[in-house]
Copies of this chain bind each other. A is one copy, B any other.
Amino acid sequence: MDRLLDNVGASPAAMLSLLMDGKPRTRAEIMAETNLARSTVRARLDSLIAAGLVIGADTDVSTGGRPAGRFAFSPGARLVLAAEVGATHAMVGVTDLSCRLLAVDEIALDIADGPTAILSMLVRTWRGLLDGAGDAPVAGVGIGLPGPVEHSTGKPNNPPIMPGWDGFDVPAAVGPEFDAPVLVDNEVNLMALGEHVASFPNDEHMIVVKAATGIGAGLISNGALHRGAAGAAGDLGHIQVPRGEDALCRCGNLGCLEAVAGGPAMAAKLRALGVEATTTADVVHLVRSGNPEAGRVVRQAGRDIGEVLAGCVSMFNPSLVVIGGLMAQAGDMLLAGVRESVYRRSLPLATENLRIVASSAGAQAGVHGAAAMVAQHVLSPDVLDVSLP
């Protein structure tokens, strides 16, 4: 690892990544950790300081004498605009380069209004949030959308619930508004990235499930997002539930997880039991108000999700499964059902050290992931080193 730092430490981005652990360092400490010459360290620091990304940080007065000249990463040097867009609402935020949320707003929308209307709403919301978030320049924009996205181009790829969005060039529409790069991904991928970066950085292999009206997942493999060949990885909702019901799914197949355990499927089961319920939110509300039928239906949905997840656990061998999304707010019933099936079906080796937990980042995981995607991009050597001397 020391040798790797030695090799890459010569670039501004690499020196910045050394400082991004938050610990201020003197020139001498940076030289010792990178094996770089004094002149190189001086030149790199000068260019990072000129860009505002590194500042003097002589807050340590314990040595008493002359300040040793410490330098630190300055995450507030740039702002990041982040949004997680769902089918019916969006979480919109402004963060600094460490993904700290400076301002956030939740807005209602209908994704079927199409890209022009929705993206204009996001831009207006960001402009409002920027008014109170300081004067730092915008480094980039990160957007999560509720469907498959070709990440390299930022275009939605045959999204099933997003009429008008297929192939729409999101970066071309939003980029000029802020004169900044725009990165787009599936919202569940960004939820997974947000959970990984913010809450579980040591779990190199994770599955993050979003259980709501639809059911999807984001995968972290070897510490990075696994997007798959067409940006379609994590499509949990259309895997067949083993020994499940033959419910007809909107995709045209029978017995898909979403048709059995999605929010509308649960509401239909409750109606069949004589309990009034239409939306996913209705189901959550019923569970939280102690309705026993709703509790039973949600627990069975957890078991069904667990039946499918058990196969994914055998295949992917994660150390962590995180359950998020609106249904996760129904409390422990869903999680209990998931655990029941996964621990029953998976092999001992795969579950020996497996944790299955509720989302801790909650509703802001997607915004956090969108900001992390942008920060990782603009601070990468590919991008940063070409803009600095």
Binding site for B on A (CB under 8 A): 1, 3-4, 6-8, 10-11, 13-14, 148, 157-158, 203-205, 217, 219, 221-222, 224, 226-236, 238-244, 251, 253, 255, 307-308, 310-312, 314-319, 345-350, 352-354, 381-382, 385-386
Contact = CB atoms under 8 A, between A and B. Distances in A.
A251 B347 CA distance: 8
Contact of A229 (B8, B238, B251, B317): B317
Copies of this protein chain in the complex: 2
B228 A382 contact: no
B3 A7 contact: no
A251 B148 CA distance: 36
B217 A382 contact: no
A314 B221 contact: no
B3 A381 contact: yes
Contacts of A239: 310-311, 314-315
Nearest to A147: B349
Nearest to A226: B221
B228 A317 contact: yes
A18 to B, nearest CB: 13
A158 B385 CA distance: 47
Contacts of A255: 242-243
Given A204-B229, A251-B347, A315-B312, A241 B242 contact: yes
Nearest to A318: B229
Contacts of A219: 315-316
B235 A314 contact: yes
A217 B382 CA distance: 34
Contacts of A253: 345
B385 A317 contact: no
20 contacts: A3-B381, A6-B11, A6-B385, A158-B348, A205-B229, A226-B226, A226-B316, A228-B316, A229-B354, A230-B353, A232-B347, A235-B347, A236-B314, A238-B314, A239-B310, A239-B314, A240-B242, A240-B311, A311-B311, A312-B315
B349 A315 contact: no
Contacts of A238: 314, 346-347
Nearest to A348: B158
A21 to B, nearest CB: 20
A241 B231 CA distance: 26
A228 B4 contact: no
Given A7-B14, A157-B349, A204-B229, 6 more contacts: A4-B381, A221-B222, A229-B319, A232-B350, A235-B317, A311-B311
B315 A236 contact: yes
B385 A318 contact: no
A313 to B, nearest CB: 9
Given A157-B349, A242-B240, A242-B242, A233 B4 contact: no
